């Protein structure tokens, strides 16, 4: 895939970039490795100054940065602003808290003294996706730079201007060269970087295929990986839920980022008693969304990230329909230039269909009606993915009991799965392993070193 900005609103090619040569990659790795040797010795206060500066710059440049996101991957402009704000908060959060999270941990052995010291491990590689081009990088880079590691970031090939803008933020904040480095590389050249012995760990957010490939390369080289992959979150509505509120949250949970979130509410599971009411209201809200230019603040349904993404999604819809699924709303491309697809609801989905097992990365909701709570939980768990999920009920204690039965990394009660700096983010099963954000996100790439005094 070429490294290019293509505006998905009108498929116009805006800018193209050359991939780095093998020599340029070698120079980037060796500078990062040299820089690590002194960055590891800097104090938390020095690192904190750098990251606060990056966060401040992000906020002061928010107009330019938000527009870049919308230009390159089609996010609604208000959501692009929200992404910049959240990314700056994440950077500040680690600047303020990493020292506490990584402080020595005293142990109480039977005799003598012992403690665990968290030490940085070296140059890390982050392979990042286009769907949240700033947030994903902030979640990887901020904790690791605060921990004393340095990072190389290979961003998705369709968001090169976002990738360069983040690199520039670190330059403007006067980060020593090599603390943060953008790599313009295609996915197919990542294995050689992972294999380099100066790279000590790799973190990927993306598809299952990319995850399996990176994990294999990391395993072969005996180094740690963290994987944040796809999801097919269940959004469960129980009979006692506030239906109007649940519908509003379902619209946000399914349609945020035009449905291209790993934790989007992809499977809407509603108990029989309230299924008709829920579906009627859900359909009405989705069919009323205003389609248009994502740069216009009154647009409610923008394009997907690329023409390729639309083709893949429509093909999943068609395979499901051929196998017996019913289109309850939408289901077609929108007749206009750009990567547009109608807000869609599929029903009558059965095991064996694409919509049952695969991740639907766009504005397509899989709608299920089930006879009771147990059936809802069983269906939620019958998925290869295990990322997030949500339950809507007025009975919070029941919500918690059911949440504990859902086999995922996160369950939210009366809210779609969401993210914020101080809550851990990650999954189980084919959604990957490891955690980002909170105190956990900074522990993934440090050496937990035991110091023992006898």
Query: Catalytic residues, which ones?
Result: 228, 262
Task: Give yes or no for residue 316 binding ligand NDP (CB under 6 A).
Answer: no
* Region binding ligand NDP by CB under 6 A among candidate stretches 26-34, 45-53, 209-217, 218-226: 209-217
Applying CB under 6 A, among 33, 72, 83, 359 the residue interacting with ligand NDP is: 359
**Of the listed pieces 4-12, 55-63, 69-77, 121-129, which binds ligand NDP according to CB under 6 A?**
121-129
How far is it, in rounded angstroms, from Cα 306 to Cα 345? 21
Distances in whole angstroms, Cα of residue 291 to Cα of each of 42, 306, 342: 50, 16, 9
- Total number of residues that touch ligand NDP (CB under 6 A): 25
Query: Toward ligand NDP, which CB reaches closer, 98 or 354?
Result: 354
Q: Which residues pair with 202 in a beta bridge?
A: 125, 225
By CB under 6 A, tell whether 187 contacts ligand NDP.
yes
User: According to the binding rule CB under 6 A, does residue 127 interact with ligand NDP?
Assistant: yes
**According to the binding rule CB under 6 A, does residue 228 interact with ligand NDP?**
yes
Contacting range for ligand NDP; rule: CB under 6 A; set: 75-83, 105-113, 114-122, 202-210 = 202-210
User: How many CB atoms are closer than 10 A to CB 330?
Assistant: 20
**Nearest of 182, 150, 141 to residue 163 by alpha carbon:** 182
Question: Does residue 16 interact with ligand NDP by CB under 6 A?
Answer: no
Q: Which of 190, 238, 268, 270 binds ligand NDP (CB under 6 A)?
A: 190
- Rounded CA-CA distance 242/247 in Å is 9
Q: Which of 74, 126, 178, 206 binds ligand NDP (CB under 6 A)?
A: 206
Residue 213 makes contact with ligand NDP by CB under 6 A = yes
Nearer to ligand NDP, 30 or 207 (CB): 207
230: contact with ligand NDP by CB under 6 A = yes
| Contact code string over 277-296 relative to ligand NDP, x by CB under 6 A | --------------------
156 interacts with ligand NDP by CB under 6 A: yes
Contact between 1 and ligand NDP by CB under 6 A: the answer reads yes
Of the pair 259, 330, the CB lying nearest ligand NDP is at 259
For residue 274, give the nearest of 370, 178, 376 by alpha carbon. 370
Whole-number minimum distance, CB 131 to ligand NDP, in Å? 5
Under the criterion CB under 6 A, does residue 262 sit at the interface with ligand NDP?
yes
How many Cβ atoms from other residues are within 10 Å of residue 422's Cβ?
Answer: 11
Is 186 one of the binding residues for ligand NDP (CB under 6 A)?
yes
**Stretch binding ligand NDP (CB under 6 A), from 101-109, 137-145, 150-158, 324-332:** 150-158
Considering the complex, state which of residue 271 and residue 365 has its C-beta at the smaller distance from ligand NDP: 365
Distance between CA atoms of residues 100 and 48, nearest Å: 12
Pairing state of beta strands 224-228 and 150-154? unpaired
Contact status: 363 vs ligand NDP (CB under 6 A) = no
Residue 409 in the binding site for ligand NDP (CB under 6 A): no
Place of tokens 């205003």: 290
> Which of 205-213, 271-279, 365-373, 410-418 is the region at the interface with ligand NDP (rule: CB under 6 A)?
205-213
Contact flag: residue 436 with ligand NDP (CB under 6 A): no
Q: Is 165:65 a contact under the CB 8 Å cutoff? A: yes
**Cβ closer to ligand NDP: 190 or 345?**
190
Residue 412: Cβ within 10 Å count: 22
**Can you name the residues that pair with 228 across neighbouring β-strands?**
205, 432
Report the interface residues with ligand NDP, using CB under 6 A. 1, 127-131, 154-157, 186-187, 190, 205-207, 210, 213-214, 228-230, 262, 359, 361
């Amino acid at each position: 895939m070429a490294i290019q900005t293509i505006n998905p609103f009108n498929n116009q090619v805006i800018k193209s970039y050359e991939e780095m040569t093998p020599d340029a990659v070698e120079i980037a790795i060796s500078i990062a490795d040299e820089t690590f040797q002194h960055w590891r010795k800097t104090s938390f206060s020095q690192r904190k100054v750098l990251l606060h500066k990056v966060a401040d710059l992000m906020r002061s440049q928010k107009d330019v940065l938000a527009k870049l996101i919308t230009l390159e991957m089609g996010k609604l402009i208000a959501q692009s602003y929200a992404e910049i704000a959240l990314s700056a908060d994440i950077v500040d959060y680690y600047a303020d808290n990493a020292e506490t999270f990584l402080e020595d941990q005293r142990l109480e052995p039977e005799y003598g003294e012992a403690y665990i010291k968290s030490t940085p491990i070296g140059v890390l590689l982050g392979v990042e996706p286009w769907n949240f081009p700033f947030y994903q990088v902030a979640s990887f880079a901020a904790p690791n730079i605060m921990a004393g590691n340095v990072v190389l970031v290979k961003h998705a090939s369709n968001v090169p201007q976002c990738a360069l803008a983040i690199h520039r933020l670190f330059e403007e904040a006067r980060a020593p060269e090599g603390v943060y480095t953008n790599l313009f590389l295609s996915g197919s050249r990542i294995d050689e970087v992972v294999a380099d012995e100066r790279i000590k760990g790799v973190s990927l957010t993306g598809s299952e295929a990319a995850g399996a490939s990176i994990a294999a390369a990391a395993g072969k080289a005996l180094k740690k990986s963290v994987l944040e992959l796809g999801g097919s979150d269940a959004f469960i509505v129980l009979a006692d839920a506030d239906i109007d509120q649940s519908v509003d949250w379902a619209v946000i949970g399914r349609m945020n980022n035009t449905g291209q979130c790993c934790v989007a509410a992809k499977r809407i599971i509603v108990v029989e008693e309230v299924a008709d009411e829920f579906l009627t209201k859900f359909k009405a809200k989705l069919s009323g969304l205003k389609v248009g230019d994502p740069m216009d603040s009154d647009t409610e349904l923008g394009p997907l990230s690329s023409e390729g993404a639309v083709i893949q999604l429509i093909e999943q819809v068609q395979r499901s329909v051929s196998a017996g699924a019913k289109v309850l709303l939408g289901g077609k491309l929108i007749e206009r230039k750009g990567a547009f697809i109608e807000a869609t609801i599929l029903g009558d989905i059965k095991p064996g269909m694409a919509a049952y097992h695969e991740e639907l990365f766009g504005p397509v909701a899989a709608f299920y009606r089930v006879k009771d709570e147990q059936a809802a939980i069983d269906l939620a768990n019958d998925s290869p993915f295990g990322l997030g999920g949500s339950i809507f009920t007025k009975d919070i204690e029941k919500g918690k009991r059911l949440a504990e039965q859902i086999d995922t990394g996160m369950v939210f009660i009366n809210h779609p799965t969401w993210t914020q700096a101080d809550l851990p983010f990650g999954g189980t099963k084919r959604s990957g392993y490891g955690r980002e954000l909170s105190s956990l996100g900074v522990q993934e790439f440090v050496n937990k070193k035991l110091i023992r005094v006898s």
